Structures are given as C-alpha cells and as structure tokens.
Amino acid sequence: MADTNLTLMEEFILLGFSEYPNIQGFLFVVFLFIYISILLGNGFIILITNVESALQTPMYYFLGNFSFVEMCYTSNILPRMLVNIWRQKRNISLLSCAAQLCFFLILGVTESFLLAVMAYDRYVAICKPLYYPIIMNQRICVQMVFGSWVIGIPVVIGQTYQIFSGPFCGSNKLNHIFCDLPPLLKLTCGDNIWDEFFLYVTCFSFGLTPFLMILMSYIRILSTVMKLPSTTGRSKAFSTCSSHVIVVCLFYGSGFIAYFHPNSSYSVSIEKIFSVFYTIVTPTQIRNGSILVYPEKVNDVN
C-alpha cells in the first residue's frame, strides 16, 4: 500500500488528437466550421419554430427543444477543444473536468429521452391521427420536455461526485477529446468494479430504456404504415421518420460502441472517432435534416 502511486490530481491533460501534430491547423478549421454551422443551423431552427405560425405544433416544439440541447451539447465540448488545438495547451482543472462531465451526461440523458419523445410523437401522429390533438396537447408536451431535462440530473450528479471524490493513480493524461466516463475510470485507483457497474446501470437506465421506447414506437409505426392503402401515404410516413431514424442510429450506434467496446480489441483512436460521431456529427445531422423531418401535416399521412 505504501508503494501505490496515488496522485492528488489538480488538473488533467486532454490529449485530444495530439498524436497528429501535422494536421492540427486543419482540425481547428474543420471543427470551427462545424461548430459555427451547428450554432447557426440549430439557432435558425429554434427561431423559425417559434415565429412561424404554421410550425406551432408539438412536433416542431420538440424539434426546437432538441436543437437547443444540441447547441448546449456541442458548446460543452467544442470551444475547449478549439482552444486546446489553437493554443496547444491542453490542461483542464479538476473542477472544470467534473463540470464538463456532469453537463455532458445531463445533456446526453436529455437527448436520449427527447429522441424517445419525438418517436412517440410520430407514433401518435401516424397510428392515432384522430386523437393526436387530444393526446399531444400543450400541457403534455411541456411535461414531456421538462421530464426529459430533469429525469437524470440527481443520478448524474451523484455519479460525477463518486468518480471525482476518489483518488486517481499515475499519469494525469486523459487520452480523449473531452472529460468522458471511460477514460476517467481508467485513471481511478484500485478496484473500480463498482464504478463500472454503476456506469453500466446508468447507461442501461438512461440509454437503453429510451432506445427501447423508440424501437417500440417504430415497430408500431411500421406495422401501421404497411397497412396503408396508398403508396403516397406510405412515402409521406417514411419521409416523416427518416431523418429521426438516422439521428437515432448515429447517436446510439456510436455511443454504444464507445461505452461497451471490448477492451482487448479496441484502440483509443477509434474511441475518439466514435466520440466525435455522437457529440459533433449527430448535431450536424439533425440540423441538415430537421426541416425535412416533418414536412407534412399530421392528418396528411393517412
């Protein structure tokens, strides 16, 4: 025990993509362009869904909130990444790292449940169009969005405290693009099996549960759409859901691989790439496809 290399961490060093020193300038330009694009695109969606009377519907209300989450999601990660690339100074204080992790997890949980809410909205619109105004009334929509924001906050704060209240061992180099759970767990001391167990329970509760809700909604949607007599009706229904399905696949696919990969056959570089997918590519995709996600009115599908 006396020889254990315990370190009182005051800061971490986010290595990011420092293993590619020759393309740092290129990465800065690419990530800056993506960040500005996300802010402008999602900001435009929020603006137009609030000022355009034709878009004052539950589905665009959810879309506006989802765009706001995406702006917060990327703003929690990309600005510091850009500063690190520009200044070549990659250290982050322990408190800043904890705050970044906490906000990242809260926003990730919120995004998961908003995706489930949007899938449920599509289910009601396509499978129960006559009851849509009754089921998806304003009070229910507000409650769904509010619940998506607050449902994971207590657990996320507790998990963040659990990780940062314990000691870290050895190097303070965090081989990742931001303060995320898997690389942080690698630096914790001793047997962290309970931390990992708690991580998987959290991921199951706040990741897999909304995914199963989305899956159930789309199974019902697919069953209803295949019974539609007209090809035009089926085409409208599929186009209504297509972009949302793409975002779900990108978000959950890359996130699942990043969090549940087999350590023996997995490189850190690939982990970083998948992290870019669910933190940067997904917001870009929702911006590119959002105005086309719900082009038809609810009653036009059937």
> Quick one: tokens of 32?
């800056």
Where do we find the tokens 């999602």?
A: 42
Cα 171 off chain centre by: 29
Local confidence band at 214 (pLDDT 50, 70, 90 cut-offs): very high
Taking the model in full, what pTM does it have?
Answer: 0.83
- Would you mind telling me the total number of residues written for the chain in this entry? 302
Q: What is the pLDDT at residue 144?
A: 94
pLDDT at 293: 44
Can you give the residue ranges of every domain in the chain? 8-300
User: Looking at 11-20, 44-53, 236-245, which range is the least confident one?
Assistant: 236-245
Output the pLDDT for position 27: 86
User: Tens digits of per-residue pLDDT, 132-145?
Assistant: 999 999 999 999 99
Question: What confidence score (pLDDT) does residue 181 get?
Answer: 81
Model pLDDT, residue 285 = 56
- pLDDT at residue 261 above 80? no
Residue type, 101: L
Q: Which of 47, 131, 57, 45 is nearest to 297 (CA)?
A: 57
With 50 as the cut, is the pLDDT of residue 71 above it? yes
Question: What number does CATH give the domain 8-300?
Answer: 1.20.1070.10
183 vs 175: CA distance, rounded Å? 7
